[in-house]
């Protein structure tokens, strides 16, 4: 399975596009040195909110782009999404879009209340008219930390899968049960986004190290512990999603 370096809206404030491109190139070279067969490293623009931003990402070297027009009305979402998909197609760059409204708040992304579930028939029309290569759907998930137990509309997901033949994406997976994630995959989800729980794991690692070493001041040391926490979560989620040992 590809390694996806997904650049969020908040992360884009801390690193310019050139630096992000070099990071991706470095990851590719590192994978080659490790002897990974046919390494696939993807630099993905997460929740791109305008045509101009998507084009800057395309010119910079991003190899996967999301245009999120879900805050617009249906026709406006189609218009901006189609424009991005059309511009990226000659370069073979895949384009993810979002239809419906994945709520919650994560980083600098505010999804609002998130009660706009994806309509299956609208999803079919949206994909046909825009030419996107993957679609993020709203079935009850939310970005950020859940305040209660999320209830996914898996029947809705199954109906979307029947009429849409491109990969479906699940945003807001942090905090979902393993059963919910696995069942979502069975019903058509091909890409699952985890972010909040990785940040929590990193922060927990820093707290753990500083609690045991209150006089520490070297970020390399507590950063290493934090990264091990993140690594453990990622390994668990890879196994959960069934994407280990693939080429």
**∠ at Cα 173 (143, 122), nearest 5°?**
75
Place of tokens 């040195």: 33
Q: What is the dihedral of CA 181, 167, 237, 34, to 10 degrees?
A: 170
* Neighbouring-strand partners of residue 136: 98, 169
Burial label for 69, CB within 10 Å (0-12, 13-18, 19+), is buried
User: What's the per-residue H, E or C state across 175-221?
Assistant: CCCHHHHHHHHHCCEEEECCCHHHHHHHHHHHHHHHHHCCCCCCHHH
Would the CA dihedral through 25, 27, 33, 37 be positive or negative? negative
Report CA-CA distances (Å) from 73 to 53, 70, 112.
20, 7, 15
Task: Report, as residue numbers or ranges, the catalytic residues.
Answer: 46
Q: Would you say 163 and 124 are in contact if contact means Cβ atoms under 8 Å apart?
A: yes
| Cα–Cα distance for residue pair 11/128, rounded to 1 Å | 32
154-163 vs 120-130: helix crossing angle, rounded to 10: 40
């Amino acid at each position: 399975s590809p390694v996806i370096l997904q650049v969020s809206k908040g992360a884009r404030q801390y690193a310019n596009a050139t630096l992000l491109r070099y990071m991706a190139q470095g990851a590719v070279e590192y994978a080659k040195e490790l002897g990974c067969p046919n390494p696939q490293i993807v630099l993905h623009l997460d929740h791109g909110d305008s045509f101009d931003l998507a084009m800057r990402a395309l010119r910079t070297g991003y190899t996967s782009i999301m245009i999120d027009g879900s805050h617009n009305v249906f026709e406006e979402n189609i218009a901006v999404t189609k424009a991005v998909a059309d511009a990226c197609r000659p370069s073979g760059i895949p384009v993810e879009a979002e239809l419906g409204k994945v709520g919650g708040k994560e980083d600098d992304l505010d999804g609002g209340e998130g009660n706009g579930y994806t309509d299956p028939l609208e999803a079919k029309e949206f994909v046909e008219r825009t030419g996107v290569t993957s679609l993020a759907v709203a079935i009850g998930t939310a970005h950020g930390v859940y305040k209660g137990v999320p209830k996914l509309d898996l029947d809705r997901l199954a109906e979307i899968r029947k009429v849409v033949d491109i990969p479906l994406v699940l945003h807001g997976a942090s905090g979902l049960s393993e059963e919910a994630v696995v069942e979502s995959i069975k019903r058509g989800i091909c890409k699952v986004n985890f972010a909040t729980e990785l940040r929590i794991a990193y922060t927990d690692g820093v707290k753990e190290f500083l609690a045991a070493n209150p006089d520490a001041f070297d970020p390399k040391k507590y950063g290493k512990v934090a990264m091990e926490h993140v690594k453990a979560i990622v390994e668990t989620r890879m196994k959960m999603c069934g994407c280990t040992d693939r080429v």
